Amino acid sequence: MVASLFFYFYRMKKIGDENEFKQLCDHCLELEPKLEAVIKEFDYPPFWHRDPNFATLVLTILEQQVSLASAKAAFVRLQERIGEITPENILLLSDDELRSCYFSRQKTIYTRQLARELVEGKLDLEALNKLPEESIRERLLQLKGIGHWTVDMYALMSLHFADIFPPGDLATIKAVYELKLVSPEASKEEIIRYMEKFSPYRSVATYILWHSYIQRRKLTLE
């Protein structure tokens, strides 16, 4: 019983606020001094946050396998067309209208299914957000077009779970290599094992890696 309670609270652990976040950044620097170069050059990463809602999931779907800029352009175009991005408003659009907002055929299917799940009451996002990370992951993975990367982004940026590392995120993996945290020949599996040194705060180390990648390329993450 004690062990199961410990596991439950461990999986519910979240980063509380920006002050705690910066303290945890310092903790990560102690674990890996090579990360100090990022903070010295670019300061602490922002404590990025996206609202844990339908619109954020739509944006994350749009970001799958494309640049942040092109995903943002599609999202803005959608906002201009329907105003508030709600499941109901999405379902009012035809495929052609979504295509005019730069939605691919696949992303149209993914977004429509998510919208229908919410409208039909099969998915209660507000209730889901209160569950442990693995329960959220299990439920969202049941939806077509939502894979581990999409769940990782939602768990990291919207719900601020403390121990998330997204191995499917190309920017994060590139930053690991650029900062020479592993050997150039290291596999993704080896990177996953390396990142375990930051547990139970892998999310904070991931934010530092994102910060390095973004700043070196003068990108914007919203």
**pLDDT value of residue 12:** 74
pTM greater than the 0.75 cutoff = yes
In the predicted model, residues of the chain with pLDDT beneath 50 are: 1-9
**pLDDT value of residue 3:** 40
Domain assignments of the chain as residue spans, ordered by start: 16-45+163-217, 54-158
In CATH, the architecture of 16-45+163-217 is Orthogonal Bundle (1.10)
Helix (H) or strand (E) run with residue 171 in it: helix 170-178
Q: Across the chain, what does the average pLDDT equal?
A: 94
Residue 87's nearest CA partner among 113, 60, 49 is 113
**pLDDT value of residue 75:** 97
Indicate the fold that domain 54-158 takes in CATH. Endonuclease III; domain 1 (1.10.340)
Q: What is the pLDDT of residues 14-58, one digit of tens each?
A: 999 999 999 999 999 999 999 999 999 999 999 999 999 999 999
